[in-house]
Amino acid sequence: MNLIGNLVWILFGGFLICLEYIIGGFVLCLTIVGIPFGIQLFKLAIASLIPFGTVVTNRPSSTGCLFTLMNIVWIVFGGIWVALTHFFFGVILCITIIGIPFGRQHFKLMALAFTPFGKSVN
């Protein structure tokens, strides 16, 4: 079931979302300061390419003040807009019965896009 969901996801926009995250990650990795943020975009790219079957978990060492500071910087400089975009698409997809599984994946990506530091994608 995960394979079918991922294939439908990729065909109807998942590949474009992944490509946007990869391009953004490469652009951010051009600067020294942007490398940690670019790495988080690569994490989002992986999760957005195959969201069915992936699990987002908190890392055990994610309670440090550095993760908190980086998440605050992330939220202020664009993370809120990425999370709101996933929230908007999740709500739109959950209006229809057939779109509910895809809306749930957008909500999972929203949680990861809001605070990506200290989380891992399995």
What are 42-57's pLDDT values in tens digits?
A: 999 999 999 999 999 9
Contact 104, 51 (CB under 8 A): no
26-35 pLDDT, tens digit each: 999 999 999 9
Element (H, E) at 58: strand 56-58
For the whole model, what pTM was predicted? 0.91
Contact 44, 113 (CB under 8 A): yes
Domain locations in the chain? 2-121
